[in-house]
Structure 1
Amino acid sequence: MADQTTPTLAAAAVSASSPSSPAVPSSQRVLLLHAPKQPYHVTHDYAVPALAHGRELLVRTRAIGLNPIDWKAPDFNFGLPELPYIAGRELAGDVAINTDAASRLQTGDRVLAISTDYRDLRKGAYQEYVVAWDYNTVRLPRHVSYEAGATVGVAFVAAVLALGVNLGVDFSGVEDGPDLLSLVRSLSSSSSSTALPADIRDECLSGIAETDRARPGDWLAIWGASSTSAHMAIQLARLAGLRVAAVVDTAKHGLRLAGHTDSFQSFSSSSPSWQPDLLVDSHDPERAVSILRASLGTKLRFGFDTRGRDTATSLLQALACSPGEKKAPSNPPSPPATPRTSDAGTTPAIESLSLSSSSTAPSPLSHLVGLTGLPKGAPPPGGVFHNVPIKLFHEVPEVGEALSLWLEKLLGSGRLVPPVVVGVDSGLESINAALDRMRAGEISGGRLVVRLEENSLEEITV
């Protein structure tokens, strides 16, 4: 935490800001958590955080996106590395100080800052000035408001890492996006000084085989499709050519997701990117599993759960690795992959391939990603469990920068639609009441945002 008696680099570097930018004060207002199970408290005259590295920026906060972790951490006493604590995972604002003249980000730029590094209190969003790595900072296009920008970051990072690393989706065909799995593995095998964090190394390097990677045409089931992470995952998966089955409470969210409230509804590939290809009602989990099994059969090898252990367990029962009889899908199976060219330079005829000729190759595995929990025990034969390696974003600059640059392109082109803003409050002092609404389960299908200045709300045109 910043020393409250020592002048900060931010205060000393005011002259580095552009003439049109407001001067950076030496102190600010922050929202502090002093103990678990207590509300946050507004604190005045708290030092503006210092910049400690050339790749760090100081961002003036305009809008803060609220996440469930902001109330779950104090309520259940986890994710609090020190007290008093400054929470908040994402914000949008303006670059106030950047000492690197060669940076792609300049003073005055409108940005969103994504703070997955919860151990560094300088990066907590619940303050007027926030430190951010340049590779974890995304420029906002003019048509995306501060409020809309403050809803995007954490959900995008969780979704893209789940798809790109855990499931091996290659995004290189979408706005020159990253092939994350190849990027991460190349870093490990090269002479790069970048080291993968030890606790996610196995997931990154051996979590999924090259032959198992999710490819265009494959099905992905998302349980808890009303969450903002699912909102991002649906779009990213469909942009990459995957087909998405969304399991959700259709009474609450069916109309928003697809314009229908039926328990089972199919859509064409021409649907907007945020609409799933298949919608399944989650009200009766057993029936939802039966629908997925009957509709997709052994085609369903990839699952992403956003809710917790119980729903992840249900989703596991629908995947191809789950024991039990599965009804064959009504559509014909995907054709076999084009055979590789032989050493002699000729391609064997497809007709010569048969099930028996490929019987020596291992069967593809099913993969389940749990954002907030996984089924108890070991996965069944033919199945693999995955945890999202969030640390890649802030601890591996090559990954963080690749994702930030790609997010800029997706937002700029309009191919990625931010989550719905379901409410906007004003001032740090309004955050406790907003978190109470989240605790009570009043907020779903969108995000709450807190703006720090009056009259800052812009029309959301995305």
Structure 2
Amino acid sequence: MTKSVSNLAAVLPSPGSALDIQERKIPSPGPGEILIRNRALAINPMDWKRQLYGFAVSSYPAVLGTDLAGVVDQVGPGVTLFQPGDRVLASAAGFLTGNSDQGAFQTYTTVMDALATKVLDKITFSEAATLPAAVSTATIALFDVLGLPISDLENTATSTNPTKTGILVWGGASSTGSAVVQFARLAGLVVFATASPQHHDRVRALGATAVVDYRSPTVVEDLLAAAREAGTPITLALDAISTEETLPLVARVLAESEDGPGSDRKKILATLLPWPDTVARPESVQVLWVAGQRIWKERIDLGRLVFNKLLGKWLETGEVVPAKVQVVDGGLSSLQAGMDEVRKGVSGVKVVVELDE
């Protein structure tokens, strides 16, 4: 299956250095792994933070990157779900393992078969590459951190919502926020979200009952009014931005959302970053950090369920759609420009680099 005889990689030589294009040995898949010939790589904010601050980089030189899509080139021992030639998206585990063979920013990457999904031709490689980290984070946030029953996700065709549980997704137009909106809708929750006005229609189409401008001076009051109109108290929240500015606002919505006389339901706020020391913790809201990397180890059961069983079906039926793509031309050599673009800030899109066949 191999069309390229070399493995070019965008290597991080030292802390804070620019990415450097180097040739690496083509890795071999181990037990439970597949080797993917990458066709598209998506960039996450964590990538430039790892580059700049050395976060989760155990040694140098290192190959960064988590989100990829491409074609299966080889399968390792024990792999039965995939075969050479399959079009797939996958989450690369180098962030957790420190193994550069498992970093996405190269021509060939080895990934765990549990964190890969077959994708049909109607989904482009660039679209597919926007999904892995967002899907992983949404899965851990909802079904590990917030404790929703995974059966709610498995039985979406007959899902009901007798408790009328409401969830707030702050940053609903981000790639992670978009995935949380869709997964929460599939699990039967009533979704409220914030986003810039230009993204409101898209976030509603993904499944939000109400979308509010996060820059509005009355954003808290607007969300509470939307919850009252829907007859659904907001008892859960995911802050996909998780800054000193957003966290107190999300906590206020949870604290002030009325849940009916005598209700003992916990108000839980899931954050993508640890709670800052400069912000007072809310007394009536439980704050939990979403450690997305748990999907590669402690909650690999969730990974197998979502990536191997559910996600492909949802993409085929359109129940889950990828994020909008912003392509940076130039292949691996453009990854540094893409990292810089993400660091400056993007809105409602995922920055992707495409690799030649």
Give yes or no for TM over 0.5. yes
Q: 1:99 to 1:433 in 2, by over 3 A?
A: closer
Aligned equivalent of 2:235: 301
Gaps of 5+ in 2: none
Q: 1:425 to 1:217 in 2, by over 3 A?
A: farther
Percent identity between the two aligned chains: 28
Aligned equivalent of 2:86: 109
**TM-score, with length taken from structure 2:** 0.88
Alignment partners' CA distance in 1, 2:222 and 2:90? 40
Given that 2:90 and 2:117 are in contact with CA atoms closer than 8 Å, whether structure 1 keeps it comes out as yes
Given that 2:136 and 2:303 are in contact with CA atoms closer than 8 Å, whether structure 1 keeps it comes out as no
Q: Of 49, 59, 63, which aligns to 2:27? A: 49
Given that 2:145 and 2:270 are in contact with CA atoms closer than 8 Å, whether structure 1 keeps it comes out as yes
Matched, 1:145 2:92: no
> What secondary structure is seen at the aligned counterpart in 2 of 1:79?
coil
Aligned equivalent of 2:12: 33
Aligned equivalent of 1:398: 301
Map 1:113-124 to 2 at 5 A: 113-118=90-95, 119-124=98-103
Q: 1:392 to 1:403 in 2, by over 3 A?
A: farther
Aligned equivalent of 1:459: none
Given that 1:124 and 1:130 are in contact with CA atoms closer than 8 Å, whether structure 2 keeps it comes out as yes
Q: Deviations over 1:154-179 (max 9, x none)?
A: 001101211111222235355547xx
Matched, 1:364 2:265: yes
TM-superposed CA distance for 1:142, in Å, is: 2.4
Aligned equivalent of 1:230: 177
Q: 1:255 to 1:413 in 2, by over 3 A?
A: closer
Given that 1:169 and 1:215 are in contact with CA atoms closer than 8 Å, whether structure 2 keeps it comes out as no
Q: Deviations over 1:367-396 (max 9, x none)?
A: 000012435477444321111232332114
TM-superposed CA distance for 1:102, in Å, is: 5.8
Alignment partners' CA distance in 1, 2:154 and 2:303? 17
Given that 1:123 and 1:131 are in contact with CA atoms closer than 8 Å, whether structure 2 keeps it comes out as yes
Aligned equivalent of 2:211: 279
Q: Of 89, 92, 104, which aligns to 1:125? A: 104
Given that 1:312 and 1:373 are in contact with CA atoms closer than 8 Å, whether structure 2 keeps it comes out as no
Aligned equivalent of 1:414: 318
The one-letter code of the counterpart of 1:50 is S
TM-superposed CA distance for 1:402, in Å, is: 1.3
The one-letter code of the counterpart of 1:227 is S
Matched, 1:218 2:153: no
Alignment partners' CA distance in 1, 2:339 and 2:318? 30
The one-letter code of the counterpart of 2:132 is G
Aligned equivalent of 1:209: none
Map 1:77-226 to 2 at 5 A: 77-100=54-77, 103-118=80-95, 119-174=98-153, 176=155, 217-226=164-173
Q: 1:159 to 1:99 in 2, by over 3 A?
A: closer
The CA RMSD over aligned residues, in Å, is: 2.5
Given that 1:114 and 1:154 are in contact with CA atoms closer than 8 Å, whether structure 2 keeps it comes out as yes
Given that 2:90 and 2:115 are in contact with CA atoms closer than 8 Å, whether structure 1 keeps it comes out as yes
Alignment partners' CA distance in 2, 1:232 and 1:161? 12
The one-letter code of the counterpart of 1:93 is G
Given that 1:117 and 1:394 are in contact with CA atoms closer than 8 Å, whether structure 2 keeps it comes out as no
The one-letter code of the counterpart of 1:249 is S
Given that 2:178 and 2:323 are in contact with CA atoms closer than 8 Å, whether structure 1 keeps it comes out as yes
Alignment partners' CA distance in 2, 1:116 and 1:169? 25
The one-letter code of the counterpart of 1:308 is S
Given that 1:422 and 1:447 are in contact with CA atoms closer than 8 Å, whether structure 2 keeps it comes out as yes
Alignment partners' CA distance in 1, 2:273 and 2:25? 34
The one-letter code of the counterpart of 2:117 is V
Q: 1:426 to 1:172 in 2, by over 3 A?
A: farther
Runs (4+) off by over 6 Å: none
The one-letter code of the counterpart of 1:49 is P
Aligned equivalent of 1:4: none
Aligned equivalent of 2:43: 66
Map 1:299-378 to 2 at 5 A: 299-310=233-244, 311-320=246-255, 363-374=264-275, 376=277
The one-letter code of the counterpart of 1:123 is Q
Q: Of 331, 352, 356, which aligns to 1:449? A: 352
Higher Cα radius of gyration: 1
Alignment partners' CA distance in 2, 1:173 and 1:220? 15
Q: 1:144 to 1:215 in 2, by over 3 A?
A: farther
TM-superposed CA distance for 1:407, in Å, is: 1.4
Q: 1:83 to 1:300 in 2, by over 3 A?
A: same
**TM-score, with length taken from structure 1:** 0.69
Q: 1:403 to 1:215 in 2, by over 3 A?
A: farther
Given that 2:43 and 2:65 are in contact with CA atoms closer than 8 Å, whether structure 1 keeps it comes out as yes
TM-superposed CA distance for 1:255, in Å, is: 4.6
Given that 2:32 and 2:78 are in contact with CA atoms closer than 8 Å, whether structure 1 keeps it comes out as no
TM-superposed CA distance for 1:424, in Å, is: 4.5
Matched, 1:257 2:203: yes
TM-superposed CA distance for 1:446, in Å, is: 1.1
TM-superposed CA distance for 1:68, in Å, is: 1.3
Alignment partners' CA distance in 2, 1:375 and 1:64? 31
Q: 1:77 to 1:215 in 2, by over 3 A?
A: farther
The one-letter code of the counterpart of 2:214 is S
Alignment partners' CA distance in 1, 2:344 and 2:293? 30
Q: 1:85 to 1:102 in 2, by over 3 A?
A: closer
Q: Of 222, 243, 267, which aligns to 1:291? A: 222
Given that 1:30 and 1:86 are in contact with CA atoms closer than 8 Å, whether structure 2 keeps it comes out as yes
